[in-house]
Amino acid sequence: MNSDIVLEINNLYFGYNKNKFLFKDFNLKLKKGEIISVVGKSGVGKTTLFSLIRGELKPIKGHIKCLRLSQIFQDPYSSFHPSYTILSQIKDVCNTENIEMYMDELNLQIDLLNKLPYELSGGQLQRCSILRVLLMKSDIILADEPTSALDNIVQLDTMKLLIKYLKYVGILIITHDEYLAKWCSNKIIKIGE
């Protein structure tokens, strides 16, 4: 892989039914410093694409090469264990150096770290999910509807923050929001059409 390429998908074929492919000869290259948005209606394979990239599903044919990745999930409550504090769950997967700086940029109060996930609002928990991803310092961020749990103003601030860290990562976004995709993406891939 080229040194700037963090994700490369070549000639991908995949379907749950052998007579019907969700992906047929699908190709994608994501570079560091780039945002690609994958848009399409429900059920066309957007989440399946992320499962293939994470290695949870195997392609029928084709290759996926990727560097270290982390993910922002659509439902933040499903991405945190309900009985451990936010801080303990962040410490499980990454170094917490500069955590206060990131929290400030995400407009999160420091005392939230010692709370359990259900004690936070959906928006606060989604920003904690983004905090964890930024601290992981991965090469690729997979973002599944990353701002759907946030109000419009916080959505914009959160996307601006992700864009600020683009020099370190490539971001692949799943979204139904074509306006968001047009606003932030270097490239938009429409699937299921």
* Domains defined for the chain, CATH in brackets: 5-190 (3.40.50.300)
C-alpha span between 110 and 107 (Å, rounded): 10
Helix/strand/coil for 30: strand
Share of the chain above pLDDT 90, in %: 59
pLDDT at 193: 66
- Rounded CA gap, 15 and 21, in Å? 4
> What are the beta bridge partners of residue 187?
36
Contact 189, 37 (CB under 8 A): yes
Stretch 100-104: mean pLDDT, rounded? 92
Q: What is the mean pLDDT of residues 73-89?
A: 92
Pairing relationship of beta strands 5-14 and 23-31 according to DSSP bridges: antiparallel
Convert the pLDDT of each residue in 18-35 to its tens digit: 788 999 999 999 999 999
Choose the weakest-confidence range: 13-27, 58-72, 102-116, 153-167. 153-167
* More confident site: 9 or 166: 9
Spatial distance between the Cα atoms of 117 and 84, rounded to a whole number of angstroms: 8
What is the C-alpha separation between 139 and 7, in angstroms, rounded? Answer: 9
Residue for token pair 């309900």: 82
Nearest to 180, CA basis, from 47, 69, 48, 36: 36
Residue 181 in this model has a pLDDT that exceeds 70: yes
Q: What count of other Cβ atoms lies within 10 Å of the Cβ of residue 186? A: 14
Q: What is the dihedral of CA 87, 93, 95, 96, to 10 degrees?
A: -20
Angstrom distances, CA of residue 31 to CA of 78, 87, 137: 29, 31, 15
**pTM to 2 decimal places:** 0.89
With both helix axes pointing from N to C terminus, report the angle between 152-164 and 122-136 in degrees, rounded to the nearest 10.
Answer: 0
Q: Does 2 score more than 70 pLDDT?
A: no
Tokens of 155: 């959505």
CA distance 188 to 77: 28
pLDDT at 179 over 90: no
Q: What's the mean per-residue pLDDT of the chain?
A: 90
pLDDT for 149 equals: 61
Of residues 75 and 53, the one with the higher pLDDT is: 53
pLDDT in tens, 133-167: 999 999 999 998 877 766 776 777 778 878 888 88
Give the pLDDT score at 172: 97
Q: Report how far residue 63's alpha carbon sits from residue 6's, in angstroms, rounded to the nearest whole number.
A: 14
Quote the CA–CA distance of 62 and 31 in Å, as a whole number: 19
